[in-house]
Amino acid sequence: MFDLQVEAEALGCQLNWAKDNPPAVSSHPLANGKSLSDLRIPTQKDGRIGMMIQATRTLREKFPDIALYGLITGPFTLALHLRGTELFMDMYDNPGNIIDLIAFCEKVGETVAGMLVDAGCDIIAVVDPMTSQIGPEQFREFVTPSATRLFSDIRSRDKFGSFFVCGHAQQNIEAMCDCAPDNISIDENIPLDYVRDICVPRRISFGGNMQLTSVLLLGTETDAQQNALSCMDIGGTEGYLLAPGCDLPYATPPANIESVTRLVQDSYQQDIVRTMAKEATPDRILDMSDYGISSKVIVDVITLDSEACAPCQYMVESVKAVTPEFEGVVEWREHKIKYREALVFMTSLMVKNIPTICIDGNITFVSRIPKRDELIAAIQQRIYEKLRIKIQRRRASLIVLGQESEQRGILERSIEQAGTELGADIEIVVKSDDDDIRSYGVSPSQTPAVVMARYEIKSVKAVPDIAIIKEWIKSVL
């Protein structure tokens, strides 16, 4: 049961329910007036825990020869559900409080894991996706002690423990291994060969990382088999578990999963897929060259689905929390890549990891929930850039041609007055040399004369193609 809100609900978090996803946490008791001392370790009578345990018992009785994989919410992710995003600031300001909170969440995990073991589970996965938001030092300080004790407890029950993480958590794989799990499971954000090379020497199995949306949800049976075979070739035959990178989207076609099963069980089918030429079906790429030139700043949040993915949920919440401060100036949008058009948008922006925040088409925060002040500063910086560009576009020069004379002086003063009355930034350039005057197509006898030059930004932070530069030049020839 891949639902990382079960324990949170039992501890008092409110949930938002969705038709096509597991529920999402919408309130945080420890941010809304409750203290840690108010919370109690849940029992099977709380929330949906009893329903989950009964379903496990039913499966165990019906399928005695199939290994059952029970999931609990990892201590760090559960702590975030209870405290909200203030948890990240507390790690700096009140680290002792966070250590106490995570220790409590460890006890919750140990209790629920015990229920799942008693109901018949063979493997207990500690699913802690929000650890992707911290680095190895913070991981070892706040997560390692509780996670290590959890896996020790699971092993004492003669069961296997899996450490399951989603998101861009590559920096923490070694620290996860140091917690002594039996397995590390990852999603497509982390290269499988990287995890293999760390886990195999440590005799820790590793699982993943089939692509959820582009292949299993939106792809064909052939796509699913090719992706599975690629994972199998990288993972090898020692300690590797072929698996999706996370929980399957509800709309995943069963035929795609069945095709992977056939591939795994049939070596001849593997040879066929391996030698089969892949159809030429390049993804459609959008022209993003003009993206971000509108008067408003556009904040795009690329997610798997904020209703189903905890890191995605908290990244979307961080954006929603600050945009009211820029009313009328900033718009934000979520792009859920379980939909094909969002996947095309993600590819066009060259986004590689989920979740990611882009500001006016520029990748700004990758798989990291920014602090409130940091996000506000990034948006403000883009607003200032747009204002500067707007001002520069308005800037112009008036070139006054002619020898010094009363008429030229009157002309210069008239230009200055006109600019002042309009509030325009007009630069006055005087050219008195006869050869300079002729270079503008004006005879010295025709002075005083005025030539207007307007300046328009054509490119920033990029080296345009020569063909594009030619078009610029043609427009002024």
- Kindly report each contact of residues 219-227 with a partner whose C-beta sits within 8 Å and lies 24 or more positions away, as own/partner: 219/256, 220/256, 221/255, 221/256, 221/258, 221/259, 222/259, 222/273, 222/276, 222/279, 223/256, 224/256, 224/257, 224/259, 224/260, 225/259, 225/260, 225/262, 225/263, 225/269, 225/273, 226/273, 226/276, 226/278
Coil/strand/helix, residue 136: helix
Can you tell me which residue has the tokens 């529920």? 23
Residues of the chain falling short of pLDDT 50: 277-282
May I ask the CATH class of domain 297-390? alpha beta
Tell me which amino acid residue 324 is: P
pLDDT of amino acid 32: 92
pLDDT of amino acid 395: 61
Looking at CATH, the fold of the domain delimited by 6-275 is given as: TIM Barrel (3.20.20)
Domain(s) of CATH 3.40.30.10: residues in the chain: 297-390
Residues 205-243 have pLDDT tens digits of 999 899 998 899 999 998 999 999 999 999 999 999 999
Q: Extract the tokens encoding 83.
A: 């405290």
pLDDT of amino acid 392: 56
Domain(s) of CATH 3.20.20.210: residues in the chain: 6-275
Q: Which residues are bridge partners to 208 per DSSP?
A: 242
Residues 159-182 have pLDDT tens digits of 999 999 988 899 999 999 999 999
pTM (two decimals): 0.74
Tally Cβ neighbours within 10 Å of residue 267.
Answer: 8
pLDDT of amino acid 43: 96
Can you tell me which residue has the tokens 């073991």? 117
Alpha-carbon distance of 43 to 353, in angstroms, equals 37
